[in-house]
Structure 1
């Protein structure tokens, strides 16, 4: 399959989400409700079904999780390296650091499903489920001076994490999933990707970052270029299966999560700066993702 054909449908949905909000009169309340539905119901259902439907081997999964931890650690290190290299405003850096390592889960599962590789979406689901708590802890670290307890509570109760733990338990313990439940979860999962990508488009905004151009550029470069290079090195060192290697490399090249600006705003950070950085990274990833996929394939 052509790389452009793989990437284009998802970015068309992102563009449609932007048009629905800015040109077709759908209000912010509509998308706020849609985001809650995806976050608490649809996407956990997709994660659970993707993991439970593909048998996993504990040995190979351990290596995959080690590589995932290595990728996330590299992203966090790149984010904090800019603090010593660029000497940015501390408040701005604390807000935008997450843009170097957080990832768009909706795009992750959608692109993995389009790879036409056996078990690719299940592999991505495992990676995403394991990386969510790491990314959340890294994101709140700099912003948690006043809300550390609340942030920890949110991490423990994160529906992505709960769905992943439950699915891994069912998979490794070989607990059968009733057919009716599996079908219902599958239908919820189909809805998750489309609605999630529409919500990503509704969050796009390039306003609010003019005073921090170099810092924004660093974070976008780290997420879309430097982190995938680091992931390549990791996959050469650690013994991953070819399909797992491709999925992990795709994961490393994803743009920042669209919810990053919400976290910054809720914890007293510069939400507009994060929204601008996330938006620019998402738009730029339409160019970088095809390049990386072409190189790796």
Structure 2
């Protein structure tokens, strides 16, 4: 079942890569397509899914606690190990920021596609719960680490809060929660419109992931690239599984937690690294290798931990 759920996602990613290499769509146009998916289509999926979902059987607190515990544990361990990483492998602070992002941030588009294939609307609703807990802390932590270690500046917390509260995923999730709690019935015409957007979101979003891969950027593997590529798929699912067991999360909720922790790092990590003075080239290489490795690491994580 895992293979049949993952295979279509891999094939669509590959299609995006081939389309980009064929120059059927120019580089600037790909940016526009990705923005459409990020600002319009995926928020429509999240809003509709949450607004219509039945959360009575979703272990919201336990899922959130397990994911936050795993994230905080991993982040603290990485930061504590940073001096040792530099001493043993000679990896400077600016390159460490790419390892940090690659180890913690996650590609929500791939996660949404996998959740939809494996568990349908219920899994999508559970993943939205995961996003509420994960997106704010991961975005905020990445900005703080990049500001501190790459830019050498004090983090601008007002900007961090502004970025979080204008994030289209977070806004659509909270709007969906309000709609769900209100008890109002969504008008049929609105529901049908959002469903059309939702049907377009997953294929377009995953095609964009493939289009963003740049195999030519890969250079000879070194310690930084190796760490940045494999720390996340090895340790994040393991930590998530351990804390999920601690909080008693089982069944489909556990599967969603493993999906959220096993998918490769977010493609927009590259943009953040470039904006805040990080090692953007290393970040691009980590994103590419993690996405390629995900064809093996995701099904392995699901087989081992669910």
| 2:117 corresponds to 1:114 | yes
Please point out which of 271, 274, 278 is paired with 2:283.
Answer: 274
1:160-198 superposed Cα distances (whole Å, 9 cap, x missing partner): 111111112222332322222112112111211111111
Deviation sequence 1:105-154 (CA, Å, 0-9, x none):
11111101111367111101221233111111011112233772434322
Q: Once the 2 structures are TM-superposed, how far is the Cα of residue 208 of structure 1 from its aligned partner?
A: 5.2
Which residue of 1 is the match for residue 189 of structure 2?
180
Q: Which residue of 1 aligns with 2:68?
A: 69
Of residues 172-181 and 119-128 in structure 1, the stretch that sits farther from structure 2 once superposed is: 172-181
Which residue is 1:129 aligned to? 132
| Separation in 1, partners of 2:221, 2:165 | 33
Alignment pair present for 1:90 and 2:93: yes
Aligned to 2:263: 254
In 1, distance between residues paired with 2:304 and 2:220?
Answer: 35
Which residue, 135, 153, 175 being the options, matches 2:162?
Answer: 153
One of 165, 169, 188 as aligned partner of 2:174 = 165
Change (3 A) 1:193 1:180: same
72-81 vs 107-116, which deviates more? 72-81
| 2:140 is equivalent to residue 140 of structure 1 | no
Deviation at 1:41, TM superposition (A): 0.6
Q: Which residue of 2 aligns with 1:54?
A: 53
Kept in 1: contact 2:236–2:261 (CA 8 A)? yes
Q: How far apart are 1:76 and its partner, in Å?
A: 2.1
Distance in 1 separating the partners of 2:24 and 2:81: 40
SS in 1 for 2:185: coil
Q: Per the alignment, do residues 217 and 102 of structure 1 end up closer, same or farther by CA in structure 2, a change over 3 Å counting?
A: same
Q: TM-score, normalised by structure 2?
A: 0.89
Aligned residues: 296
CA distance 1:80–1:205, shift in 2 (3 Å): farther
Contact (CA 8 Å) 2:37, 2:204: kept in 1 or not? yes
Structure 1 unaligned residues grouped into runs of 5+: none
Once residues 100 and 92 of structure 1 are traced to their aligned partners in structure 2, the CA distance between those partners, rounded to angstroms, is: 13
Q: Which residue of 1 aligns with 2:248?
A: 239
Report SS of the residue matched to 2:118: coil
- After superposition, the CA RMSD in angstroms is 2.1
- For 2:239 and 2:224, locate their aligned partners in 1 and report how far apart those are by CA, in whole Å: 20
| Alpha-carbon separation, structure 2, partners of 1:118 and 1:271 | 36
Q: Is the 8 A contact 1:71 1:252 kept in 2?
A: no
With normalisation by structure 1, the TM-score equals 0.92
More helix by share: 2
Distance, in Å, in 2 between the alignment partners of 1:276 and 1:33 is: 23
